[in-house]
Structure 1
Amino acid sequence: MLQINYIRENKEDVLARLSKKNFKQLELVDEILELDQKRRATQAQLDNVLSQSNTMAKSIGELVKSGRKEEIEKIKETTSLLKEDIKVLGEELTEIEQQLHNKLVQVPNLPHNSVPDGNTPEENEVVLTHGNIPTLPEGALPHWELAAKYDIIDFELGNKITGAGFPVYKGKGAKLQRALINFFLDEAEKAGYFEVQPPTVINEASGFGTGQLPDKEGQMYFIGEDNLYLIPTAEVPVTNLYRDEIVKEEQLPIKNTAYTPCFRREAGSYGAHVRGLNRLHQFDKVEIVQIAHPDKSYEILEDMSTYVQSLLQKLELPYRVLRLCGGDMSFAAALTYDMEVYSTAQQRWLEVSSVSNFEAFQANRLKLRFKGKEGKAQLAHTLNGSALALPRIVASLLENNQTENGIKIPAALVPYTKFEYIN
């Protein structure tokens, strides 16, 4: 959530940066400023009436001592009227603050100055490309056919049990999943991340804190009877570990990692681009989250991007890094890098990670602050990234590494899988 002080003092900058993010409700900015002005005027009135009431309450004591009963009665009558004014103004202020809050939560985060212009994925900026695209043998298969050939992922069985988008991993397919999860967690620990295992259901306050609510409620599975949501990513519960907290400046940066299943309702269209593992309703992911000092967050973002790239290099996958344009960014992000791996059999790039800096946007919702030596609490910055999401990694590993002898496992994973080939 944007800070009202910044909007008030930088209206033109806010409008320009929201336009860069392709935000269509720019009129909200004026509505917010009008409500803010009304809130401050009402608060001033309330403070003035409270001050008068306090002054009169003190004067009654002096008048009692001097026995001036008539004046006491007049002051009591006035005090009674002031109390009624206090009640009315207090209710009015509460209503204005709620209206202001309801407007503020509709406004997305402002994009960083380095975010390129554009509204579609095609306008994202390619920052770098790494690795060589392999040459596959004649008759190379897409991953869904490889999964059936080697009996490692069963999409039909998942459809029978639950529905489309919920595959069943079998045999070496299941072991590959477990190997990737353990590999990613071990690598995160080596990089200084502290592992946690959070719940996979969240309440409304947690969804609001990281910006999923009220923006993305239609994309999450909702448990109506308990008013809970299945998590779309471990970012949500892990970041909410620090909701309503004041941490010490010397603790920063705080680095956490977590493995969780993730659940997304988003419906895919038909076609090869969403077939197989390309888009699922349930998938596994290892997440990295950092709570950072505002002066360090963009340096940390670059470090997180480099770290995710190191995982792709160890998996021997060709990849590229994109800086997302304003119109393709999420509601809460200020700057996002997407990592995409090349799926040779499908001849297309597949997104496997997003690494984002949210600046103080989430922290303002979470009331997540840090306090330095001077004793003043200020909002921290939050960052998160996929390190990594499994489905498209598995898809690319299967497709890019298919040989006449089966699917070759990257050397970094063999200690985890305990086998070198899927055959």
Structure 2
Amino acid sequence: MRLRRIIICFSSLGAYLPVNALVHEQVAFDDSDVCWWSLSPPDPICPILRQQNLTEIVNKLTGRYDWGGGAGDECEGDYCLYANRGFAGGRGIALITTHENYLKVKAAGDLLQEYDVSVNEDMDFLPFHVVRVDGKANGLIADSTLKRGDPIMAHTPVLLVHHAFRDDLPQSKQHTLLEAAIHALPAATRELLMAQLAHVPEQQRLTALLTTTNALQVHLDIGGDQDHDGRHYASFPEAARLNHDCRPNAVFYIDPTALMHITTAVTTIKPGQEITLSHLEDPFTPHKERQQQCAGVSEQEVADSETRLQEIRWIEAKLQDPGSAEASTGLITYLLGLYENERLFCCLAGAYALAAVNFNMLGYDRQAVLYAEQAIEALKIEKGEGVPEMKDLEALKWDPKAHSSWRARKIPR
């Protein structure tokens, strides 16, 4: 547990600390500073602590895992504020949501607590540093070479707000709960959250917390239950520093069990190179529809990219059609080359899976196993462990000839 500051408390009668003076540790809290000691008699300048006060202080210091909220003034309509400063090893979290969704987040927090998971990081040991990027806000620059599959960061959200909160409540009541949620966070986490809004006028900052540039839309499907309305705006301040690129060198997914935003390199990132993510829902979107986010390329580059994307769509349609007579090993290989030339390293899992199945359909079991393995590794990077698609790929990998796709196509002569 890291204290934010330790200072020496001594008598105001002298400017220097005498040898026999009492030494106290003082920790800055949100609402007050408290001196405490192990020697007696206590220094008259420091307040005398009762046992219940000391217990409360120790709980604050240790980031006690304890949920609060959910009643009285902390509720507006169907939505209540819930907070836990001990969440994820003292990182803390604040929620504005329904009781049902709170229970989902609590389950994730209980799991992190059980395995003593902490996401508080020491910047000295991260593979990047934060800088001001020309023409953009802050960005992350790699300090060492990162290869495909290398982890970059993993964080739990610090603020979760139900997606219907903005529509169901008047703005004044929204601001009341949002302000309370921000102040319910540990001081360091609160500063981290608000730092990402430094460029936003103060009167607009609360609303800006819920914009797509500062918050991701996530679905709380913990435990696989998607029957309830679990859509939320989630704030991951560290990940918000990652700038957008239509062809990024990193990718992220939200682990549904632990609510972690996990970022991984998808291609080699050299020292001094910016680490980027794509904010596009569909990386195959034509350039005309994504040009506002992906500017700065020549007309020839745009034309070449459009041609590749059209070819990718056409080939994938043929390979997904079991009755197509145009599927061939050459077409599969050409498709994978298009992905590489288009720098679609962020979404190779689908291409590798399609290649694996089609090689197997054509009777090439070794190639099928090779690409099934690559598809599994790509899925782990793009979506995490245990996704439904992985089960079928594992079966193909271990016994391609027993898979339903084996020799399902006639080999072109």
User: Would you say same fold, with TM above 0.5?
Assistant: no
TM bracket (short chain) = under 0.3
Which structure dedicates a bigger proportion of its chain to helix? 1
Q: What TM-score comes out, normalization by structure 2 length?
A: 0.24
Larger relative contact order, structure 1 or 2 (CA cutoff 8 Å, min sep 6): 1
Which structure has the highest strand share of the two? Answer: 1
What TM-score, normalized to structure 1? 0.23
